[in-house]
Structure 1
Amino acid sequence: MDDRKYQICTNCVMDTTDSAIVFDSAGVCDHCKGFYTQVEPNWHTDARGREQLDGIIERIKADGKGRDFDCIIGMSGGIDSSYLVYAAKEMMGLRPLVFHVDAGWNSQIAVNNIEKLVDGLGLDLYTEVIDWQEIKDLQLAYFKSGVPHIDTPQDHAFFATMYKFAEEHKVRNVLTGANYSTECIRNPIEWMYYQSDSIQLKDIHRKFGSRPLKNFPITSILKHKLYLPYIKGIKVERPLNYIPYIKSDAVKLLTERFGWQPYPQKHFESRFTKFYEAYWLPEKFGFDTRKVQYSSLIVTGQMTREEALEKLRVPAFDPETIDQDFEYIATKLGITTDELRGYFNAPNKSYKDYRNQRSIYTVGAKVMRALGMELGGKR
């Protein structure tokens, strides 16, 4: 957070906890302006979007002809990936392999949701289990480093494993639940640094880790943005951007048809992410990711600003059970609760305090926007 007088956007709920935020004379932030000027005019979920999607579907089916599946979908058990699995099978006629990465922190609801969707749709599930001792050591290294983005090891493992599988099995198409409808406002870079920065991951582990990462999957921004798509021909598609996708409608459909269970907040399918986003980030750093999530829903017409402000008045974590959450996280990581609280009380650091590839991401983002391959976003 910077030293400016506190200010909150008059249109969404982003505020000066994002130190790079800029407001116009009407008090509207640059997150909103970016959506209204860059994303909304170029985001089509009508017949134009369906026509584009039909072309993608046709290519995917052709690429997968003669194979057991024609694409893979990474599924966490959250609403975006769950609805994508449903849409891919039932609305697009695809034959996806459901791909799940178990990093050791699945909630029981997530496990149940994945099973219900896979069984209900008659799909196959492939689960990759990450070496627990290695990811545990890497997560502890991130706690010790003092950076906000302590969820990086889990996220990095997710996409590195999926890309590795696609490369090894010559899968040409990977579908992701990333979308504009619920994610058009992005987390500020100081809140959540790029999870794919392998240079930073290795630097933090070198400084604070205690065992070599022999099995932990590591990828890089250059590999999955250049090598895999342009050399190996592996395409990553975001089908939810081409069809109407309203979060509340998706939750209702999955709940009624499959018995899918919703979560109190986005990303809470992981017990670690729940602790990290609900407590660690807002209480240690002042970064509340609900502001990003609610702002996305506000600008896309799925939530009112008043509803968001009301929800933000209540902390995302339960004060009655936070001590038990600390104990659960500490015990699973093999440390004491006092040690975990010690990391919480230690000086805050940022991605800038460690080796990083921020300059590469900045240049890459500018090129992709210039070519129309990416819309909006401040990151």
Structure 2
Amino acid sequence: MNEIQICSRCIYDSRVPLIHFNEQGVCNYCLQTDQLAKDYGILDGSGEAKLQEILRQIKRDGKGRQYDCVVGVSGGVDSSFMLHKAIEWGLRPLAVHYDNTWNSAIATENIKKMLGPLNVDLYTYVVDNKEVDDIFSAFFRSGVPELDASTDLALAEVLYRAADKYKVKYILEGHSFMTEGIAPLGSFYFDGKYIKSIHKKFGKMRLKTYPLMDFISFMKWVLVKRIKKIRPYWYINYSKEDARAFLENKYGWQYYGGHHLENRLVAFNHSYYLPKKFGVDLRNLSLAAAARTGKISRAEALRLYAEPPHLEEGLVEYFKNRLHINEDEFNSIMSGEKKTFKDYPTYKPLFELLRPLFYVLAKANLVPMSFYIKYTSKTGM
């Protein structure tokens, strides 16, 4: 059996998809992060000037309108701090929330704690709980790892819809490749066709309220409406730890126990489903990033990663009861065949074909650069 090699800088090891190491034992994902930091001006500080110019453009384009940008909010650290920064930068944001009806009480309260003091309006889209549960149930029965993919895609669609409704041309996203990295190539994937195909095969009811983003709507938002996605944290030295402390002190914001655990479905996915069925622990994304950037030592990151993920008491039973899955079926699915997006129809071949177009769109901030890196690469999946 081959010995598992661990990156000499972060905690990714040779089991990570498409990983390789240079002569110093540094993995390609660390090198990719270094290159992005250079490209976006984090290393030499030029990113701050680039961001300020983007912010000036947002203000110019939003002049005379009720809002000049939209910010997706979940009650988590990154989106909450992004809302604060938007106001600090002098923007007029509309907060947008996609409610998949699995929110934790803490997350809901965190959103309220931010909106009042900042005097920011909230646009909420609430999906029918029976529909969204049918999608989650379908994905669970399909045997793929992307249990919460429908939430991520629906949020993106709702952000576009809100922006279009209020004639806003900019969406601010609270993602940082420095604190979260970019998920290893080939690990996870989702698109509208993927969600639709799995639901068609394993779902039981017609979807009427779920905001599916298919290829046509995606192209409408980026090519016709030309709504741009801006990730301000890509241009600055953003610290999730400092942001959390700031939010707690200023707004009484409350921590929910771990990365992405503000939503109970996502918490089940990260804390139980992925580790138990696929042997995947997504804490390696943030812990590797923390070690890579020196926020914590590599040894400390490895120690934390060796500890079991935080699992909310009663969460597994809540999942089974809400989706009406009995114990025998649950155990059968958990021990059953492991499948991937390659087993179901997706837009992936089309995205690969249109790779040159998406490069242009990424450079124009019409799609995230991470989308171009992961979704259009033939070797990346």
Q: Same fold (TM over 0.5)?
A: yes
1:128-139 counterparts in 2 under 5 A? Answer: 128-139=125-136
**2:177 pairs with 154, 159, 180, which one?**
180
- Higher RCO (CA-CA < 8 Å; seq separation 6+): 1
Mark the runs of 5 or more structure 2 residues left unpaired by the alignment. Answer: 364-368, 375-379
Q: Percent identity?
A: 36
Task: Work out the CA distance in 2 between the residues paired with 1:208 and 1:87.
Answer: 42
Matched, 1:200 2:194: yes
The superposition leaves residues 225-264 of structure 1 with CA deviations (integer Å, 9 ceiling, x where unpaired) of x432331121111122223311111111111000111233
The answer to whether the aligner puts 1:281 opposite 2:274 as a matched pair is: yes
The answer as to whether partners of 1:32 and 1:299 remain within 8 angstroms in 2 is: yes
Once the two structures are superposed, what CA deviation does each residue of 1:249-287 show, in whole Å capped at 9, x if it has no partner?
111111100011123321111111111111111111011
**Larger deviation, residues 364-373 vs 211-220:** 364-373
Question: 2:220 and 2:293 mapped to 1: Cα distance?
Answer: 34
Are residues 1:246 and 2:236 paired? no
For 1:327, the aligned partner's letter is E
TM-score, normalised on structure 1?
Answer: 0.90
Aligned to 1:327: 317
Match of 1:219 in 2: 213
Residues 1-379 of structure 1: pairs in structure 2 closer than 5 A: 5-36=3-34, 38-45=35-42, 48-90=46-88, 92-190=89-187, 192-194=188-190, 197-220=191-214, 223-224=217-218, 226-318=219-311, 324-362=314-352, 368=358, 373=363, 374=369, 379=380
Cα RMSD over matched residues?
A: 2.3
Secondary structure of 1:52's counterpart equals: helix
Q: Name the SS of the counterpart of 1:31 in structure 2.
A: helix
Q: Specify whether residues 364 and 263 from structure 1 end up closer, same or farther in structure 2 by C-alpha distance, changes over 3 A only.
A: farther
CA distance in 2, matches of 1:43, 1:298: 20
SS in 2 for 1:6: coil
Query: Deviation at 1:221?
Result: 5.1
Structure 2-normalised TM-score?
0.89
CA contact (8 A) 2:18 2:186 kept: no
SS at match of 1:163: helix
208-217 or 21-30, which moves further after superposition?
A: 21-30
Aligned residue type for 2:77: I
Change (3 A) 1:361 1:307: farther
The whole-number CA distance in structure 2 between the counterparts of 1:256 and 1:280 is 34
What whole-Å deviation, never above 9, does each CA across 1:298-321 have from its counterpart, x for those lacking one?
A: 222222211111101111034xx6
Unmatched segments (≥5 aa) in structure 1: none
In 2, Cα distance between the equivalents of 1:223 and 1:14? 36
Matched length: 368
Kindly provide the amino acid, as one letter, of the partner of residue 177 in structure 1.
G
SS state at 1:98 partner: strand
> 4+ residue stretches of structure 1 with deviation over 3 A?
220-224, 360-372, 375-379
- Between the aligned partners of 2:197 and 2:357, the Cα distance in structure 1 is 27
Give, in angstroms, the shift of residue 363 of structure 1.
Answer: 5.1
Cα distance between partner residues in 1 of 2:238 and 2:55: 18
Cα 1:361–1:298 shift into 2, 3 Å? farther
Distance 1:236 1:249, change over 3 A: same
Q: CA deviation at 1:368?
A: 5.0
* Corresponding letter in the other structure for 2:202: F
How big is the shift at 1:354?
0.7
Do the aligned partners of 2:70 and 2:96 also contact (CA within 8 Å) in 1? yes
Whole-Å separation in 2 of the counterparts to 1:15 and 1:356: 29
Cα separation, 2, equivalents of 1:371 and 1:169: 23
Pick which of 364-373 and 131-140 moved more: 364-373
